[in-house]
Structure 1
Amino acid sequence: MTLSDHLATAHPALAELILAVADACVEIAAVVRRGGADHSAAVSVNVQGEVQKGLDVLADDILVRVAARSPALVAMASEEQDDIIPVRDLTAEGGYYLLFDPLDGSSNIEVNVSVGTIFSILPALGAIPDRPAVAADLMQRGRSQAAAGYVVYGPQVTMVLTTGEGVAGFTLDPETNIWNRSAERMTLPARTSEYAINASNYRHWAAPVQTYVDEVLAGKDGPRGRNFNMRWVGSMVADLHRILTRGGVFLYPWDKREPDRAGRLRLMYEANPMALIVDQAGGQAFDGMTDILDTPVTGLHQRVSVMIGSAEEVEHLKALHANT
């Protein structure tokens, strides 16, 4: 079954937008494969204050250009751009907003580690029609998402997608550029013995996260009573794809080096779409205070703490935070 076949039961306008995003990712995949020193070179600084690579900018341009072809798209927002990108006026018929991280993990480009694209689609409903969208229209909680997905540009080019009815996986055929379904219903095991975190930052974390890591490092002789493995790629799409396919928990927690910032990852472009995917696969996502899908939105580029993956581990992390 192809991606187009899979979307036959979705709302036609939503399906058309997802297919446009998929087409953009085919273009990005081709550029990533070609490589080149200019892709890994720094070219500018984005709204986040982070250095942009050449491929960050190119991937952003491709997504904006290709997605705009979808008649249902009202506006876009990118991690790489300060403000929203209006496409067409709101109408009484509604439509959709597209938010995306065009190239997650781009710091890994020069070492040929998997990078990816993350996207979120929100409904453009209930707004006053016949006007351009404004940023506030897009600032909806994660549970409002109509669809979410990511693409991993690795040895295989893989898309993982949810439209709110489970999670499916697709693999790009490099000869035909057709997305073929490779997993009909992806699920996370409730229990796991694998976690992903940048352990070098241990001294900067809040006490509940330190306690969690202390417990899993103690292995079968500690309070968890079993041994754990640690894996860390440093590319959210790569780490989450591993967890979604074989279980685990991913942590990118609050860090006392930036005490006024709730976390490092972006709520709208990374945390919310990944949280919806994991939720639909039977897992959970937590920001240290609440489920990520319920986190209030205060800005397009809002950052959050992220603890996401197998349900049992996230529940344990919730309990540790509640007891602090």
Structure 2
Amino acid sequence: MKDYQIDVQLSSTKKEKPAFNQLSFGTVFTDHMFVMDYTKGKGWHDARIIPYQPITLDPAAIIFHYGQTVFEGLKAYKTKEDEVVLFRPDENMKRLNRSNQRLCIPEIDEEFALFALKKLISIDKDWVPNVEGTSLYVRPFIFADEPYLGVSPSNTYKFMIILSPVGAYYKEGINPVKIAVESEFVRAVKGGTGNAKTAGNYAASLKAQEEAEAEGFSQVLWLDGREHKYIEEVGSMNVFFKIKGEVITPELNGSILEGITRKSVLELLHFWNIPVVERKISIDEIFQAYHASELEEAFGTGTAAVISPIGELSWQGEKIIINEAKTGELSKKIYDSLTSIQTGSVEDPFGWRVEVE
């Protein structure tokens, strides 16, 4: 590791920590945050860790008007040996730069970003919860802060990292959720920004999510934006289906986010010699498989929830119950394996776990 320089200003007043057995998701934040600036012609500069605090932006900052921003999400875990570990953080930094490329944001030094992330967590390591099912959520993000109302890439940016101790993302936990198949709205289209982790994708999903929740569903299943036929994602997660013993997930097509949990699940399934394929799969095929008694399991994958089994799908007035609305054997095996690797309770044969020194 290079001799990276980060100025550190420690907080003189520490916050009161919440009860780790009563954590919700994303409402409490630690004592410090990382900040670094970018100026065209100068590059990234002035890396610093400072007390967590509000930021001041000009009302004309490009982020407010044209949404030039990207972000990432990963977690830190406390092991039984009281060590703090991360799960595949290098993959998050790679994906952050892929998002940067799509949004015309200057790329970051991935090795330095990981160094900064580890240093920040090390300073706030007392905030990493040690209760089962909890973790420290890590949110790196970059946004355009130049005050300018012309439509063009910014000349200045801020790269920040904040931390939040969290509990389960979905109140259902590992229990199956009810999902509505979205037939009106679309999340993204090929050629758009669907394969980048940027704010606009999530803003575009809110209306469908709101309507689904009003009908008693936890999330929506997104179909492709052109034909409204092929499955893409479930909520903000990648999605998998087990049909006749084979696991199928939509292939990456330019509008689907390349999830790190998705990648890990694929590698696990290959490791276990379980048949798995990435390909286009239509919603018609899913319902046909159900009626033929061939649809065995369905689940979403993502950083926040890890694995979220799907117990019910609703589409065009028809509801189907998957695996008797019970968590499937494979879903549970994947969840247990991933979380055990993440928390250090089993050996990591893949080298995915990274210790925070």
Larger Rg: 2
